[in-house]
Chains A and B, each alone.
Chain A
């Protein structure tokens, strides 16, 4: 397997807070790498450091990827409220020297893939539903044909019924565009569904890392065991309809 991202002893301190404190891992090409942990554990900071949106205090990130993009937790916050969707998408194309026609063609193609139509382009972000807007965030991220995507809690701000749709979309687009994804989440069920490799983060450290089957099957670290025990397992059944079109996908 080819290695795409390699993180070596990454540290990021904000004054006295050690957000990330010596983290090392590597992400293989065409895989989904999951980072799980509770809020404040440093998951997002790892993602930002990989993309270069934050400068690490210590350590290094080696990237063998071409373009990289990020998808954010709250779609309403990640779109500029003053600009229409169309303006926001075209701007990305224009800044990266795509012609208008090229951008338009890519946008239309991607919109179709995420089950939206061209008339969303005239709208402002606040006129969209959360699920629609997150799909548009995916369109915006894929517009530049990235090889690597950091998805920072991409579904946790969405309704449970919409979460599965967006997760399925991720899974399908990953196959189609050969994406490598760093998937940050606190939702173990989703991580188990979509990720290949999982790292469990606690207070800026990776406490356990391994194949999905190993982490979820035979966790070795007490924190991982605790996390798994704490997840709302029995009440929340993931039905087998997860990859079909039927709703509801989760039953509570």
Chain B
């Protein structure tokens, strides 16, 4: 039988190795460890929390840090550590729900607009323009005014407010992909449009979408906390980081610690999410990946001491 070239794949020279650098930079490792700790803490809040987060004990109001209450107690004597863990659960769950609403509506519509273009694209993108003209917080007020206070209204409002961003990203990525040869090849095999869009184009967009969504979760936590802080989101007595901040702020002179705790939690979460997102983007962008370290940068351009 005739041989049409090397079929053996063991030979090193045949296999293309792509040197893509590492995703696991020190910053990425630190940030993802923090995120992992927060996630474990909030998922297993039921086991880890030493007390019922809603158990009031007025004799312990503004309790200091003691072995029994590692992070002290709040104005009505509830254990702050327990409230922090359960509060994280509320905050993160709600943030994921916001992103869930955004993803489930935004990405499919973005893919369809990008793939088909034309009138569908024009109409939907104009609708997104309208939504984009509202600041998310304002849209939150609007929904609360219409549907009443509570987490459902704020989740819906923020979810809708962020649909345009992710939808546009998905659309633009799809436009970049749809004229590639592999899409034409898929069509030439008689694959349906749905298969081409969701099974061939979408997997090539996921990494960029994921980087965007990581940041969105961070923003969702901030804005949800803001709504809670304004008394429009999660309602007492549920534990929530934003709500903890609001309640403690009233008594900040008596017990500043209680303001610091949720602030630090929110801050750590957001910073970590941003680092993770940045790392993913750096990893995906070969231009930026090769940036020299700061020391080499200084050496190259001279220092002005």
Is this pair of chains taken from one and the same complex? Answer: yes
Name the A residues within 8 Å of B8 (CB-CB).
117
Known interface pairs A78-B181, A126-B18; A165-B4 also in contact (CB < 8 Å): yes
Q: Which of B168-201 contact A (CB under 8 A)?
A: 180-182, 184-192, 195, 199-200
Of the listed stretches B9-17, B258-266, B275-283, B290-298, chain A binds: B9-17
A73, A80, A116, A127: which contacts B7 (Cβ < 8 A)? A116
Among B8, B16, B203, B204, max chain A CB count under 10 A is at B16
Name the A residues within 8 Å of B188 (CB-CB).
51, 53, 69-70
Known interface pairs A51-B188, A77-B180; A129-B14 also in contact (CB < 8 Å): yes
> Do B204 and A82 touch (CB < 8 A)?
yes
Q: Is A1 an interface residue (CB 8 A)?
A: no
> Do A77 and B4 touch (CB < 8 A)?
no
C-alpha gap A169/B5 in the complex (Å): 10
In the complex, what residue of chain B is closest to A111 when comparing beta carbons? Answer: B7
Name the A residues within 8 Å of B303 (CB-CB).
none
> Do B190 and A169 touch (CB < 8 A)?
no
> Do B5 and A115 touch (CB < 8 A)?
yes
C-alpha gap A218/B182 in the complex (Å): 40
C-alpha gap A135/B15 in the complex (Å): 15
C-alpha gap A7/B213 in the complex (Å): 50
A179 to chain B, nearest CB (A): 16
C-alpha gap A10/B147 in the complex (Å): 61
**Count of chain B residues with Cβ under 8 Å from any Cβ of A?**
29
> Do B2 and A72 touch (CB < 8 A)?
no
Interface size bracket, A side: 35 or more
Q: Is B22 an interface residue (CB 8 A)?
A: no
Known interface pairs A92-B189, A129-B14; A165-B181 also in contact (CB < 8 Å): no
A131 to chain B, nearest CB (A): 5
A55 to chain B, nearest CB (A): 13
Contact mask for chain A residues 158-187; partner B; CB cutoff 8 A; 1 contact, 0 none: 000010011011001000000000000000
Q: Is A245 an interface residue (CB 8 A)?
A: yes
A69, A123, A168: which contacts B2 (Cβ < 8 A)? A168
Contact mask for chain A residues 69-100; partner B; CB cutoff 8 A; 1 contact, 0 none: 11011100111111100000001100110000
Q: Is A114 an interface residue (CB 8 A)?
A: yes
B2, B190, B203: which contacts A245 (Cβ < 8 A)? B2
C-alpha gap A138/B4 in the complex (Å): 12
Name the A residues within 8 Å of B185 (CB-CB).
70, 72, 78-79
Q: Which of B186-231 contact A (CB under 8 A)?
A: 186-192, 195, 199-200, 203-204
> Do B181 and A131 touch (CB < 8 A)?
no
Q: Which of A117-147 contact B (CB under 8 A)?
A: 117, 119-120, 123, 126-129, 131-132, 135, 140, 144
**Apart from A95-B189, A123-B9, A128-B16, 19 more pairs, CB < 8 Å:** A51-B188, A53-B187, A78-B182, A80-B200, A82-B203, A83-B200, A114-B4, A114-B7, A115-B4, A126-B16, A127-B15, A132-B6, A132-B7, A132-B14, A165-B4, A165-B5, A166-B5, A168-B2, A172-B2
